[in-house]
Structure 1
Amino acid sequence: MTTDYQQARIALGARLHELRTEASLTVRELAERCGWPFSKVSKLENARQTATKKDLETWAAGVGRPDVAVELVGKLDGMESTYRSWRRQLAGGHRVVQDALGAQHEKTRVFQAFSGTIVPGIFQTAEYARSALARYADLHGVTRDIEAGVASRIRRQAGLYSAEKTYRVLIWEAALYVRICSADVLRAQLDRLVSVNGLGTVELGVIPLNADVRLAAGDDFWIYDGKLVITETWHTEMWLDGPDDVALYSKIWDALAEGAVYGHAAHRVLMRSRAALDLA
């Protein structure tokens, strides 16, 4: 769990504790009013469990302050709009997740991205995207709707041919070797990367394994028009629009870009990975 998310959960727990003590209720007394085990009250107050909207409405009624339900739910919504767990997002299907990214993509003109683990979605073939989504879907136990998710992801690639958009994408060389798909699918994917490297809208930087770098590879991320960062971990996707967060990720991108090669040099790295695959 991210530190910022936990801090937000701690702040919400402190507010719940405040409301309970103001109502002169013990943990057990509030639990009885809410129809919960007393341990749940303790977990919510001490940030060991994330409240649902219904939990917060029940808490507000339990302490005799139904008027604060809107405030509490607002705090939860703020947390959830920034930190979007994969399990919660995928409950609505892969298309919903991909369409949300597509909506942000539509209104963005300049993209900066770094991927150290996988070929970025904007460059993926349908077969590679299908394999990637299927593997992560299996991890989270949500395997329906994959084809709709693939179709939505591929639709975003129309932007690659729009003169109004610019893609400045960094890929760590290791991502070119990750066998998240069959050898044939990866071979076609590498060929696809070679072709997009020549597009006028794309500035593709590849960071060789032996490059001198200022920073080691970390989480994959995208910066949208210098105003929003979307990054992800195993359990959550984060949408960060705070100026300090955006500035930090921009600084990280600049540092990583210093170790990248472009143009013909990037082409040589791509062909090296392609040749290694053929020899495997």
Structure 2
Amino acid sequence: MDRLESELREALRCYFSVPELYGHALACLEDKLQEAMLFGKMTVLHYRMFKGEDMKDIYKAAAAVELMILSLDIIDDIQDQDNGKMAWNQLPPGIALNIGIGMLSLSGQMMLSTGFSAERRQLAAQLIHQGIITAVNGQMTDLYNNVQTEEDYIRMVTQKSAALLVTAAMIGTVLATGEWREEVKRYAEELGIAAQIKNDIRDLLNWDDKNDFLNRKKTLPTLYLLEAVAGEEEWITDYFEGRLDFADVADRRQELEQIIASTGTLIYTSFRMRTHYYRYLEYVEQLNPTPYWKDMMLSFAE
């Protein structure tokens, strides 16, 4: 974490020369540093697991990955108009968007400035660009909120959070080996899907800041809930379809939580989440890592 933090701070200091840009970007980074930095850790882990030798520049590469994730988080929150407690949402949208675009470009620049061979640097930068394009496609589906089925949801998540986790793992892999590894894509994708379902369960119950029910956002939990409600519970469907306003449901939190419990929404979505985690564990086993690296990989599923 210390190495990642140092690389991120140095990148902002070197490339963001306008004081206001640097100051606001640093505040956004401070919020990011409160998180676990799963993506950067995934990059370092795969580089080391596949016997990469340059233990200096891999942290710069991992910081580039985290900067890509932070930039997409900023842009997504501006588009979704949620997660209001974050530093970027305390800024005018135009300024926050400029920071997000700047960080997005900087992530690629950081990767190209590492000391790896030219071929591996190019492969890693290409993976960043591919990951961004894939995530943009998934975000468009999310913005239109036209997910209708569980299959639609899994397809969208595969393009967004799962694709970005694949990007993080594969960058560490190609920097160490120079090759794309399909088995890495397979298990990283499953872990990304599981993690997103877990987040969506949390966002269904979080009434204070980023609530997917209040925002009428179609996720696996809300899709299941909409299918399960009946009779007097139909106000939930009416709200999602715009026949009721926020004021009509704002004081019905306890009632909603009781319906979520009675319909088995959390039981079902937790089961689906665990299914993808178990697939992740199964695919990791097939990689046949040493006990040390196996334990490291399994720690990501906790």
After TM superposition, is the score higher than 0.5? no
* Larger strand proportion of the pair: 1
Normalising by structure 1, report the TM-score. 0.30
Normalising by structure 2, report the TM-score. 0.28
Greater C-alpha Rg: 1
